[in-house]
Amino acid sequence: MSIIVNLDVMMAKRKISLNDLSDKVDITPANLSILKTGKAKAIRFSTLEALCKELNCQPGDILEFQNDN
Amino acid sequence: MNNRLKIICILFAITYLAVILHFVFNVVGISIQKTNNDKKEIAEQETSQDTERKAFATYVFDILPLEKSGSYPTISIENTKTGELIDVEVHQLSVSVQTGLLPIIGKLLAGTLMIFITTYIPVQTFKIVRSISKNVIFDMKNIKRIRNIGYSLIILFFVILLFQYLFSIAMNDMIAFKGYKISGIEIKHTSYLLFGLASLLFAEILKISLKMKEEQDFTI
């Protein structure tokens, strides 16, 4: 998929664990893991908003477009 | 298990058993075929056929003799309930001839396939029902099972057609009657094709639903 999720990078930068983040943004660790590993098919604006708020970043820091060609 | 699902399963089992019994033992001796019910068709018939035939052109019954050695009436038959004489017409005649080994082998192969498919379908249906009872509905295995049921029904339909075609060729090579031709392919089992296609359609709908569910599940 050409949309890359850089959540793991942002989490490493902010030095926050998956469980801590899941507690703060009110998402289950399993779902956050799906998002982190790039298995997610879509992301809700509310989830993105919560993540950006918690990680103090922009949506572009979490999501990245890579041209396959 | 859901009550409605239980009822459908029971109905399916009863219907399936009845169909199998009908095919295996031919328990139903009389079949009613509704024909020419349309007024338009009757009007068309009026122009081509004589007026006496109009009265019995509405329904056509196939009758079978109660005894194996019984013969068929050729002009009229008495309705024992009313005492009325009803005109009859012979539109099909069965002739018994000694055949070679090839038609027997063909019949055996078609019969074996039919037995296999008639066993395969309830087994697959049972697996689907068991899966549904475990709350696993949108599963690729279930979709494949429904699709396989569809394919087997379609294969069965075409095997029967092919068998009839090959049998009629073999018969036409062996025997000929003056003033008669041997009837060839009779498309009787269209329900197999219909249900096969319906199963394939249902499988495709389920496949799309599965894809939608996966997308929904992976929306965080």
Tens of pLDDT, residue by residue over B86-114, are 888 777 777 777 777 777 787 788 888 88
Q: Which has more pLDDT, B156 or B41?
A: B156
Average pLDDT, chain B: 76
Average pLDDT, chain A: 89
Chain B CB contacts of A41 below 8 Å: 214-215, 218-219
Q: Give the torsion through C-alpha atoms of B32, B34, B36, B37, to 10 deg.
A: 140
Residue B211 near chain A (CB below 8 Å) = no
- All structural domains of chain A with their residue ranges: 2-66
Give residue A39's pLDDT band: very low, low, confident or very high (50, 70, 90).
confident
How far apart CA A12 and CA B213 sit, in angstroms, is 32
Residue B99: strand, helix, or coil = coil
Among 3.40.50.261, 1.10.260.40, 3.30.720.210, 3.40.50.970, what is the CATH number of A2-66? 1.10.260.40
Amino acid at B75: I
Structure tokens at B51: 């007026």
- Counting residues of chain B whose pLDDT is more than 90, the rounded percentage is 10
User: What local confidence, expressed as pLDDT, does residue B141 receive?
Assistant: 92
pLDDT in tens, B65-86: 777 666 777 778 888 888 888 8
How far apart CA A31 and CA B219 sit, in angstroms, is 9
Chain B CB contacts of A45 below 8 Å: none
- The answer to whether ipTM exceeds 0.90 is no
Residue B189: strand, helix, or coil = coil
